[in-house]
Structure formats: C-alpha cells, structure tokens
Structure 1
Amino acid sequence: MPALKNQHFVPKVHLRAFAPDDGKKMVNMLHAASMRAIKGASLSGQCAKHYFYGKDLVLEKQIGEIEGQYAELVRELEGGHRNGPLLETVKTLAFFQHFRTDAARTRFLITQRQLFEATGEIVDEGKLPFSDEDLIQTALAMFFTSIKYIGDLKTCVLLNHSRQDFVTSDDPAVLFNKFILQKTGAANFGLMNSGICLYMPITPRMAVLCYDENVYRIAQNEKSEVIVRKRPDVIALNSLVMLNNANCVYFRNWDERDDLLAHLRDALPLRSPGTRTHRLVPVDGKEGAFRPLKAGEEYNGAVEMFHSEAVYPRPIHWMSFLDRRLRPVTYFENTAAGYVRKEAWLRSGPDGL
C-alpha cells in the first residue's frame, strides 16, 4: 500500500490506549450494525479510509503533526500534569476530534442535502455537487470558525475509580447539553448555548469533560480532577459515546462485552436522526435577531437565511456528579439564539449555533 494511503480519522495512539494486548496491535470492539462483539480486531484498520483527507496528503500530514501533539498530551495527563495551558490544549484537541471523523462527514452530507431541499434545489443523491473530500474539508473548516465558541468552557479530568472501564469509538468526542434538554425539552442546541458540554474518553481509566461552569457545578480537587467511583456514572458516560452514531465501539476488557452489548442495544433506538434545516427571518424590532418561520407563514422580505442545526440524542441517564446550579447564568430573549452564555451572542445571528 502507498505511504499514507490508509488515513485515520481517530488517532491510532488513541485506540492503542484501549488495546488489551501488550503489543498494542489489537482491540476489542462492538459492531453496531451487526450487534456483534469482536475479540482482538486488528487495530491498524480501525477508524481509517483510503485517502480520507485527500490524495494530495496535505491535510493528512498536517493532522499527523496534531496527532503527535495528542500523544505527548496523553503522556503528560497520565503523568499527572494538569496545568491550565495543558487543559486548554486537551479541550482544543477534543473539539478538533469532533470534526474530523467519518461521522462528521456524514453529518455535513445530510446538512448539505437538507439545504438543497430547503432552497428548492433538489438534486439526485448521486449528483450532489461536492465530493467526500469536500465534505471533510468543510467539516474541518467549521472547526476553525467555531473554536471561538468553546473558549469559556472549563475543562476537568475524569479519573475512573469504578469497576467499569470507559469505552471509546470511531466518533469519540461527544457534545451534549443536559441544561437545554431539561429546560426546554428540545434535542437541538448549538455551541453558543448555555449548558453545552464536550466529553471524550482518553484511556479506559481517564476522560476529559469540558462544561459550562455558569450552569453546572462539578466537585473536583485543586488539580481539576473528578474522581468517578460510581459504576452507573461510567455507564452513563459510555452511553453518551454509544448514542453518538458510532459504527464501532472499542473496549479493553473482554469480560465486559455482554454488558456493553446490552448498553449499546439500549442506545441504538435513541440515536439522533441527524440534522434539520430552518428558514430564518428577522425578529421585528430586534436588529440582528432571527426566528424560525412558522409553518404556513408567508414571508416576502428581502432578508432571510437558512440555518441547519444538529439534533442530538436524549441520554438515558445523567452522571450524578454533573449538578445544575440553583441559579445558572444565562441570557435569553425568545429568539432563535435560545439560551446563550454571553449576552452579545443574542444579537450575533445564527452563526455558530
């Protein structure tokens, strides 16, 4: 095989942390489509496709450098380092992981098709005017334009002291929002919204959680460590990964396969349908504010836009350590922005939602 042809969308170093063998060449996995547990699958072929980032290898080489940073970061975390810049880098790399997978490519494919349908430009499935490479490049471009919206999230390290391991997947970085689900009942939210969280497992015994500290209160020590002792909390975190439209779930301990298969079976019916697209029109009297056009409502104004949003699954259980504050700090004006973390975002339009 030509060098760099097999391009990974989850770092091999990430998967190796979940390998059960001393050589770190195999990994146990659950295959969601067939609901089978597979023991000792070859690690080299996991989370990879031929020329996923393009045949010119430009993106592949740039991402390879980032993966080198990830490997060093994991070594520092395992060595007990928890300084501010390190945790900020963890957050950035977890956020980057959310945009670089095959699942991310699929999300953008669904979004683009919905936009064509919303604007009346319906095309045949096989004739969409962009390639898989275009889609993943669009997804990665979205990372760079939206990174500014997570700068205020606090990052903590979850240390697993329970008898159940963390699992990972081929789409391991998970966005969720307990606050919005409980406050509005809606399964859609954006990066500006209050209560957003980003979770990613690092090893079977360590994970990172980035969260809105103006909405949630999480007990942690001076090193930003959260000791997770309750098995149901680990199951809840693993369920987040399983709900995230992963094709393959990876785990270290083969003895856990039956329990994990049961959890995956519970998660599959609750997975998200993907994304949906709205036609947005200006809110009268509020400059820069938009709202969804109501069903049957006519609008002939000169200013409008189409906004696509992700629709997320509803978790079966929440982690006991993720407590909502009695008086969360949030901003709301009954516009398409919803509950947001900064007042200025109420008038910034739907970009980044």
Structure 2
Amino acid sequence: MTEADGSQVANAYRNQHFVPEMYLRLFNEGHEDAIDIVPMRSGRLVRGASLHNQASKHLFYGEDGSVERELGQIEGAAAGIIATILRRDRPPNRLSPDHQGLVMFISIQLMRTLAAVEEANERADKVAKSMIREAIPGHEMLDRLDLVKVTLSDPVADAMRAGFQGTPFLYDLKMKLIVNSSDVPFLASDAPVIMHNCLYEGTGAPASGYANKGLQIVLPPGPWRALILYDSAVYEVRLRRQQCSAASQCTPCRTDQRSPVGNGTKRCVCGRRRAGS
C-alpha cells in the first residue's frame, strides 16, 4: 500500500458513525445512498439526504480508525443476522451464535451514541462533585464547584466498554419479534435502542440498568418489525388474533397497576399474532 492509498483509507474512517449505515439502510426503502430524515431542530422532512452523513461525527472514535474497523466487523455480522430474522420472521434461538451476536450488537449500539456519551459525562460530573463535597465539607471552593464541568478523558471508550462488559447480563432476556400492523412505520433515530423498565415506572427508582429486574429493550430492524428483549420473570407476551384497538395493546403495558412492585404478578407485553401462527 502506498502512502497515498494509506491516506485515503485513513480519511474513509474520519467520518465515524455512531449509528451504523447498515442499520440506517433498513429504513431507506431501497435507496442505495439516500434516506429521508426529519432533523429535530427544524422538524421538517428532508427527502433524499445523504446516508453517509447521518448519525456520524468527525473522529468520534479517534484518529487511527481501529475502533471503527472493529465495529465494522460486529456490524457486518449483525447485518447478516438481521437479514435472517426478517427473512424467517422470527428471532434467533436463545444462546445460539446468532442470538449472542445480535445481543452484543444491541448492547454496544446502546452505549455508542452521542446520548450515551453525554450520560457518561453527566454521571462522572455528579459522582466527582459528590466525592469532593464529602471530602471537603464547608470549604469555600464548594460555592463555585458547579461552575466547573467534570468530564471523562475518553467517554466514548468508557461507554462502549460498559456495553461490551454488560452484554452477558442481557443473554437471559427473552426475545420476541413484534409485527407492526399499523399504517405508521417505526423510525430510526440517532439513539435507536430503547431501554425501559415499566415495572418501576413512576417510582423514581433508577431501574434501567442491565441487571435490573423488569428490564425491557426495543430495537426496530426496519419500519414494520421490532425486536423486544424482556424479563420473562416479570412480563409475558400475549399474542392476540384480533387487531389491536388501543395503543396500550401494542406496546409494553401493565396489567395490574395497583399491585405493589415485586409482588410476583406478571405484567404483559402484548402483540399481534402472525397469520397462521
């Protein structure tokens, strides 16, 4: 490889995606390098925007491109797994190689976005300031402490490391493929993985960690399907033959809102039954 060739390869990795192109292509309806977008600032539909410039940032993972190349291998494997899911219209068997590869992709994707990096820095700021206040109570410096912003030296690496290390905690979650039978398609975003916990919803408890009871994770692999990972000790999937008549029948819903948390009552995750199933 010549020096010029090496420079071109390096430049190819300078625009680094925190949501991979292979995922965005699931929503571009066959347009090779374009996608319709709605920027949050304007709220206006932009048709045929360049796919290469969406959900990316200059040198997000660093200058040498090594992280981008490693992620490319994970994304390549995930692309094949998702294609198989959509072709067969069912998720992979639990703990199969495809299941583990998909869970790793979801876990890392959850932690590699701008939002995840901002959250990591916010946690670091709160923890550092709390430790300082504990260490020097009453010190005059504390009056100006909130004027300082504490950030991680490499928040992207720290967030992604948490994604890698947390992957095994998600293996025990059940996985279902939900069919979107409405006329409203699912959308991609710059933070496509949704993590929630409606078991503790409204309690004020920070219960969306990987090891928390009642965890729910949702990722739509395109406009008309959604993968949902859920704690089967807390929720069950009820497949309905009739068409959903309310939004709560198509999304994670609570069947016993009056029951106290932790009483063993299962709550439901409802969905449509596929034809012939």
Shift of 1:8: 0.6
For structure 2, the residue ranges without an aligned partner over 5 or more in a row are 1-7, 134-144, 265-277
Q: Deviations over 1:286-320 (max 9, x none)?
A: xxxxxxxxxxxxxxxxxxxxxxxxxxxxxxxx454
Q: Deviations over 1:121-175 (max 9, x none)?
A: 748657x4644xx100000111123223222210111122221111110000011
Map 1:101-250; keep pairs closer than 5 Å.
101-120=113-132, 122=145, 125=148, 128=150, 130-131=152-153, 134-181=154-201, 185-186=203-204, 188-189=206-207, 190-220=209-239, 230=244, 233=247
Check the 8 A contact 1:216/1:325 in 2, yes or no. Answer: no
Check whether the contact 1:217–1:323 (CA below 8 A) recurs between aligned residues.
no
2:105 to 75, 89, 93: 93
What secondary structure sits across from 1:202 in the alignment? Answer: coil
* Distance of aligned partners of 1:107 and 1:24 in 2 relative to their CA distance in 1, 3 Å threshold: same
C-alpha distance in 2, partners of 1:199/1:25? 26
Q: CA deviation at 1:331?
A: 8.6
Give aligned-pair identity as a percent.
26
8 Å contact kept, 1:197–1:212: yes
**Contact 1:12–1:44 at 8 Å: present in 2 too?**
yes
1:49 to 2:61 alignment: no
Residue 75 of structure 1 aligns to a residue whose secondary structure is helix
Measure, in 2, the Cα distance between the counterparts of 1:82 and 1:141. Answer: 26
Cα gap change, 1:99 to 1:229, in 2 (>3 Å): farther
Deviation at 1:321, TM superposition (A): 5.4
Query: Counterpart of 1:204 in 2: which secondary structure?
Result: coil
Aligned-pair Cα RMSD in Å: 2.9
Deviation at 1:36, TM superposition (A): 2.6
Measured after TM superposition, the shift of residue 68 of structure 1 is 0.4
1:119–1:82 distance in 2 versus 1, CA, 3 Å: closer
The 3 A distance-change label for structure 1 pair 93 and 232 is farther
In 2, Cα distance between the equivalents of 1:331 and 1:151? Answer: 24
1:41 Cα deviation from its structure 2 partner: 1.6
Compute the TM-score of the two structures, normalised by the length of structure 1.
0.60
Secondary structure at 1:172 match in 2: coil
Residue 106 of structure 1 aligns to a residue in which SS? helix
Asked whether 1:10 is paired with 2:28, we answer: no
In 2, distance between residues paired with 1:26 and 1:111? 36
Task: Tell me if structure 1 keeps the 8 A contact 2:103–2:167.
Answer: no
